[in-house]
Amino acid sequence: MTKIRAAVALTLALALLATPKAHPTDIPVMDGAGLTVTAELTEPGTVRVDRDDIDRSTAPDLVSLLAETAGVSMTSHGGYGTVNAVSIRGLSTSRIQVRIDGVLVSSPQSGDFDLTSIDKNTIESITIRYGGSAAVTLDIVTRKPGGTGFTWNAGFSNTAWIPPNTGESLVDTQRLDFSLGWSDTPVRFRLNAFATRAQNRFPFEQGDTILVRTGNEMLDGSVAALADTDITPLVNLSASASLYRADKNVAGPVTTTTPGKQDDLRSLETLSLTAKRFFSPSVWARFTLAHGMTRLDWEDPATESRHSLHSIESIGFWKFFPAETLDTRFRATWKHDSLDSTNTGDARRDTVTLESGGDWRMTREWNLSADCAVLISPSLETPALMPALTLSRAFGPKTTGGLRVFKTFKMPDMNALYWAGDTTATGNPDLKNETALGGELFAAHNAPGRFRSEHSLYARWYRDAIIWQTAAGVWSPENVGEALYLGSDHRVVFTPGDGLSLTLNYAWLFTRALTGDFTFSDGKRMPYQSEHRFSIRLERSVRRYSWHIAPRYESPRFTTIMNATELPGVFLLDAGMTIQAGPRVSFHLDGRNLLNEQWMSMDGYPMPARSVTAGIRVRGK
């Protein structure tokens, strides 16, 4: 194992040392074991995952998809359907703003959003943006009805633990998905559905004993529908609705003696009117009205709780094109959140967000983007300003680079403020608002037919950063004073031809918590943040066959700000193969954690052992 790690590390180091500088037209996504994904030049420094990349991925859910394609880090309580979250540049889901077709879906109760509840087959594209109204924004655009005639698509897969500890472990997890659409009618329509059964009964080591993880069985499923029609050649009306339901057994950490039961129900309904011309040929506009509902019921031997959240959101979005070299935009959002919870009581929050920005192509080489968001709420004494500025330059036909600076602001979520004290957690009504200043240098290069690369160096300085900490088994949020995030991301994709590609990724993250009497010399790192992550992905496509092999490494992580407990680093190996049996049928085989590493993403929660997933996909008209 040591020789393998050393060889992989040496390969990565040599590749990075040989990396040329960077380009505008084809910017690859940064950092992570995954598919070759590109970002558009119109948004310098962003990360974009397109529909083609999603189709090529066999990831079971959106969190795994982002880890494979966009290279983001993920944390998990182990197995499908447990608490899974992404971490982007050291920021957890609670600091990542998630929007679906422009609608903000991040929970005001917890700050999080369950990405597992979104069917990846409903997604057209995913864009990760830095700065603006949040330090990181995850913009998800859903698929619209398209093509001609009637189309359908179905897939089925089964996951087995290898070697099997019982016969049942050969049929541990099954997933079925289906979609159909038609477009040769005045009203175009698309329907997607999926269902998953997961036992999550995998073996793990505890000392010298091999145990089987149990108690995490779950069922979940989702139905999503979208219809749209052209009222006139310039005006489009669309409506969508989605419903997600999950029935989960929650074992908790391996030391727990009180497993729980959780029922999740989530819905989102939207109605949008889009005008390609709004009183002027140079104005594009969209108006959206949305309602979201989240219900969570929890029960364990000691407690019961119920949480019901309703959100209503109205959005007006305009784009102006006053000149050939200037694009401007304006967005106004009103959002009302109503929470009824046994732990927080009745809580209400109203916010108005005003966002304006523009892109100015100053010369053929230089481009300037400026944005400013203003957050207004009765919870704030004064409106909060969040400006962002991006300056980029093309250095010839193959290289681009730039600088981005921004300020962000975050109010404490409702749980952090109002959670009534119990044996597991307590809120903190004295929390301060969280602010941060950030900046990024980025560069990209493209040599068609040879390689592509993207590099960034970023920094963020937080004041009053909100972190949940545990003391004597009771979790509570606190402002950690100040915190520093300094890092760099690098991605290089070699394409020598003959269907072969080699992707090298490296991410470095330096963090310091400066709460209380801590100083830089104390060296306290932020919890659950690896300092080093690297991955290599070798893949080849020949005729009807494609295969890939993907080793990756994450360095050790501390579990608290005190840095008293450290989770060891881990080296993982994944591999897979896809066979196109015909124009409409394909088979895939994926192996994960093939070296059968015993590790934890979160303290007390073993991660799945070696597994193999076999699946089939059928397409038709």
588-606 pLDDT, tens per residue?
A: 999 999 999 999 988 999 9
CB 463 within 8 A of CB 436: yes
CB 141 within 8 A of CB 125: yes
Q: How buried is residue 544: exposed, middle or buried, by Cβ count under 10 Å (0-12/13-18/19+)?
A: exposed
Of 56 and 359, the one with more pLDDT: 359
pLDDT-derived band of residue 2, with 50, 70 and 90 as boundaries?
A: very low
Strand partners for 96: 136
Confidence (pLDDT) at 19: 31
DSSP strands (E only) in 233-344: 235-250, 260-275, 283-299, 304-323, 326-341
Confidence (pLDDT) at 45: 64
pLDDT-derived band of residue 11, with 50, 70 and 90 as boundaries?
A: very low
Helix (H, G, I), strand (E, B) or coil at 169: helix
The number of distinct structural domains making up the chain is 1
CB 168 within 8 A of CB 160: no
Q: How buried is residue 257: exposed, middle or buried, by Cβ count under 10 Å (0-12/13-18/19+)?
A: exposed
478-532 pLDDT, tens per residue?
A: 887 888 999 999 989 899 988 899 989 899 999 998 887 888 899 999 888 999 9
Helix (H, G, I), strand (E, B) or coil at 161: strand
- Tokens representing 149 are 């005639």
User: What's the rounded Cα separation, in Å, for the pair 92 and 94?
Assistant: 5
Query: 96-100 and 136-142: which strand pairing?
Result: parallel
CB 265 within 8 A of CB 242: no
Confidence (pLDDT) at 43: 60
Amino acid at 352: V
98-151 pLDDT, tens per residue?
A: 999 999 999 999 988 888 888 888 899 999 888 777 888 999 999 888 767 889
| Residue 120: domain span | 2-620
User: What's the rounded Cα separation, in Å, for the pair 295 and 245?
Assistant: 10
267 pLDDT above the threshold of 50: yes
Confidence (pLDDT) at 18: 31
77 pLDDT above the threshold of 90: no
Those residues with Cβ within 8 angstroms of residue 380's Cβ, 6 or more apart along the chain or in another chain: 411, 433
CATH number assigned to the domain comprising residue 487 = 2.40.170.20
User: What's the rounded Cα separation, in Å, for the pair 39 and 536?
Assistant: 20
195-253 pLDDT, tens per residue?
A: 999 999 999 988 888 889 989 999 999 999 999 999 999 999 999 999 999 999 999 88
pLDDT-derived band of residue 44, with 50, 70 and 90 as boundaries?
A: low
Q: Which residue has the tokens 């993907």?
A: 550
